[in-house]
């Protein structure tokens, strides 16, 4: 046991050193060479706050409160744009190192080789590229991993509270809350559910009420801003329409609005309006799938054994990955940095199909890098090559979702024999819900 612990610790330390080198010697350098003003928007918002201007009241801002705190911290140390961008990247590196520690612990709980999970996570980050240090999306992604880790070790209050904190950093973690809710209901953990919801609402109120008191209208506008956005050209719907225009099947108009390149036409506007309902339908299907598999697993379980917890945790991780991916694909906005949300989740998948998922995601991320930042102007102008690349990227991610949906959750077959009692069934036996 001690030998295994030392090996895991040494592996973790190796990857911590590797990630520090990747972030400081590669990501930051390339970001300043090719990416448009890395950390520039964050710097602008931080300087306004340091000049005494209040977010939401004194200047319009579409970012949640915790995101603004994330922007402010590097500005407390450095006031020049260049120094700020390096400090901001260092802050993102800190979140990345926390992800490595959490992933190492979760991999142990799931009986997945720590080295494999950390190696896959490293490859996925490299595929996404230097964009990782240009945006703050690793912060909410880290919080999602904290919540999932807490939930797997039965820390209900921490899990629900961290999801709420994640929402105050970026709204997307809200789609994971129903998974926790369903898990409690199906498992008949009603007391844990009440505790979790109380913690969730308590954190949201503590963070948001002060801003509502300062300026209710301004804070509300930070939420309605996202509702009012048009159809993003990189979304699943937008890329399909862009490809249709390149093939001469339809005509759309593009413009830079809401900080992104959006398209407009009768069909585009209609898709933008119904995208919320489409997202709700597909997410409801994922939640139903999760609840059904969980209920079936509990119903069919003849006796408790050492394998059952691993199956339940794997199901939760698989459905968390699928939920985030479905939200991305059905949303009317799909910015390149959204891929960062999946990087800490996918390496923890079990089953043989995980290799296919990883491969598809790496290619999809590489195609995203090809378009942004290197060929984004051509994409905006409707050049068929980058438009086709982005359309293929979306198809690959749809394929990832299909693989996740069709793959029954199970443990990997590399569980050390010492971790299971003698009476446990052989790992090669079929595990099904």
Alpha carbons 242 and 158: distance in angstroms, whole number? 43
Give the residue extent of every domain in the chain. Answer: 15-414
Q: Could you tell me the CA-to-CA distances from 178 to 64, 169, 184, 404, 432 in Å, in that order?
A: 21, 18, 10, 18, 23
Report helix, strand or coil for 343.
coil
What phi and psi, each to the nearest 5 degrees, are found at residue 129? Answer: 95, -170
Q: pLDDT in tens for each of the 433 residues of the chain?
A: 556 667 788 999 999 999 999 999 999 999 999 998 888 999 999 999 999 999 999 998 999 999 999 999 999 999 999 999 999 999 999 999 999 999 999 998 888 899 999 999 999 999 999 999 999 999 999 999 999 999 999 999 999 999 999 999 999 999 999 999 999 999 899 999 999 999 999 999 999 999 999 999 999 988 888 888 899 999 999 999 999 999 999 999 998 888 889 999 999 999 999 999 999 999 999 999 999 988 887 766 544 444 455 578 889 999 999 999 999 999 999 999 999 999 999 999 988 899 999 999 999 999 999 999 999 999 999 999 999 999 999 999 999 999 999 876 654 333 333 333 323 333 233 323 2
Token pair for 417: 């024999």
Tell me if 410 sits within 8 A of 350, measured CB to CB.
Answer: yes
pTM more than 0.85: yes
Tell me if 211 sits within 8 A of 65, measured CB to CB.
Answer: yes
Burial class (CB in 10 A: 0-12, 13-18, 19+), 326: buried
Alpha carbons 398 and 331: distance in angstroms, whole number? 13
DSSP-assigned beta bridge partners for residue 260:
257
């Amino acid at each position: 046991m001690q030998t295994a612990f030392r090996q895991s610790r040494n592996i973790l330390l190796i990857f911590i050193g590797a990630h520090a080198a990747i972030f400081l010697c590669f990501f930051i350098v390339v970001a300043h060479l090719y990416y448009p003003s890395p950390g520039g928007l964050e710097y602008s918002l931080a300087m306004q706050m340091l000049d005494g201007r209040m977010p939401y009241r004194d200047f319009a801002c579409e970012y949640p409160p915790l995101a603004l705190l994330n922007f402010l911290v590097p500005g407390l140390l450095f006031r020049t744009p260049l120094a700020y961008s390096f400090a901001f990247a260092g802050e993102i590196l800190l979140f990345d190192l926390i992800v490595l520690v959490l992933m190492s612990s979760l991999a142990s709980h799931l009986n997945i080789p720590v080295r494999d999970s950390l190696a896959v996570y490293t490859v996925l980050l490299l595929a996404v590229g230097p964009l990782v240090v240009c945006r703050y999306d690793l912060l909410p992604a880290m919080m999602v991993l904290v919540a999932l880790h807490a939930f797997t070790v039965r820390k209900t209050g921490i899990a629900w509270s961290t999801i709420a904190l994640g929402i105050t950093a970026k709204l997307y973690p809200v789609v994971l809350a129903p998974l926790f809710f369903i898990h409690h209901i199906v498992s008949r953990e009603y007391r844990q559910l009440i505790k979790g919801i109380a913690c969730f609402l308590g954190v949201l109120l503590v963070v948001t009420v002060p801003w509502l008191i300062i300026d209710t209208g301004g804070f509300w506008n930070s939420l309605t801003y996202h509702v009012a956005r048009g159809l993003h050209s990189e979304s699943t719907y937008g890329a399909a329409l862009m490809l249709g225009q390149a093939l001469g099947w339809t005509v759309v108009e593009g413009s830079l609005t809401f900080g992104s390149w959006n398209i407009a036409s009768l069909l585009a506007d209609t898709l933008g309006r119904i995208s919320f309902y489409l997202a709700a339908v597909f997410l409801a299907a994922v939640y139903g799938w999760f609840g059904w598999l969980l209920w079936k697993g509990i119903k069919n379980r003849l006796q408790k054994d050492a394998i059952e917890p691993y199956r339940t945790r794997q199901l939760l991780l698989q459905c968390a990955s699928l939920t985030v991916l479905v939200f991305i694909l059905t949303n009317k906005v799909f910015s390149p940095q959204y891929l960062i949300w999946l990087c800490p989740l996918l390496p923890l998948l079990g089953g043989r199909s995980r290799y296919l998922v990883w491969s598809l995601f790496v290619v999809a991320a590489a195609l995203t890098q090809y378009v942004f930042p290197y060929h984004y102007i051509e994409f905006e102008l409707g050049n068929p090559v980058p438009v086709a690349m982005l359309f293929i990227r979306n198809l690959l991610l749809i394929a990832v979702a299909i693989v996740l949906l069709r793959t029954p959750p199970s443990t990997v077959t590399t569980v050390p024999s010492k971790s299971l009692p003698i009476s446990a069934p052989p790992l090669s036996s079929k595990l099904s819900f």
